[in-house]
Amino acid sequence: MYLACFKQIRTAFIMLILFTVLTGFIYPLIVTGLGQLLFPFQAGGSLIKEHGVTRGSSLLGQSFTQASYFWPRPSHTATFPYNAASSGASNFGLSNPNLLTAIHERLVKYTQADPANKNPIPVELLMGSGSGLDPDISPKAAFYQASRVAKARGISIETVHTIINQHTKNRTLFILGEPRVNVLELNIALDALK
């Protein structure tokens, strides 16, 4: 009886060690190695570098507030905007006065930043993203901001439109998602004009 129980315990312990090594060490090493080999940009965090300096990740939004840059979607993350350690939305309902106040403040911000622009402000620039880390805006939101950016930089609006078009990514596999523009990549392209 005790011998049979000991054999079962020994077998269970051997299986525990075997599967711990297999799934805890060997499998992650293989997957990490294949990821680094086949997809080095993505496996490395999708980092955007400029002249050897890391400017950020194409997967995480950043705060841009100067008129000469494109502004991303609002972020509601705790402590500071675009805090990757605290991803999340405001969770304010549509009838919440705090949400309505925030939308009004953003509306005033965009109106004051470019008073001559009479186009409707895209809703994504007024409402925060679900994660608070959204790195992309729609081409419509980028074109809305183009006149402000062009004036602040002293360049033609056609140049800004060309840069937006060059950095617009189509739907993934032609069916998933919507066309989008990465704000960080767009702003780096603008800085490269110098």
| pLDDT 10s digits, 85-95 | 888 776 778 88
What pTM, to 2 d.p., does this model score? 0.80
Buried b / exposed e over 79-91, threshold 16 CB at 10 Å, is eebbbeeebeebe
CA distances from 112 to 15, 99, 105, 116, 179 (A): 67, 20, 11, 9, 28
pLDDT at res. 27? 97
- DSSP letter, residue 67: T
**Does residue 3 carry a pLDDT above 80?**
no
Domain segments of the chain: what residues? 2-40, 46-192
- What is the pLDDT averaged over residues 127-150? 92
| 3 state DSSP class of 181 | strand
| pLDDT 10s digits, 141-189 | 999 999 999 999 999 999 999 999 999 999 988 899 899 999 999 999 9
pLDDT at res. 117? 94
| pLDDT 10s digits, 5-18 | 888 999 999 999 99
Which token pair is 32?
């990490």
| pLDDT 10s digits, 101-110 | 989 999 999 9
pLDDT at res. 1? 66
Give the confidence band of 67 by pLDDT, cuts at 50, 70, 90: very high
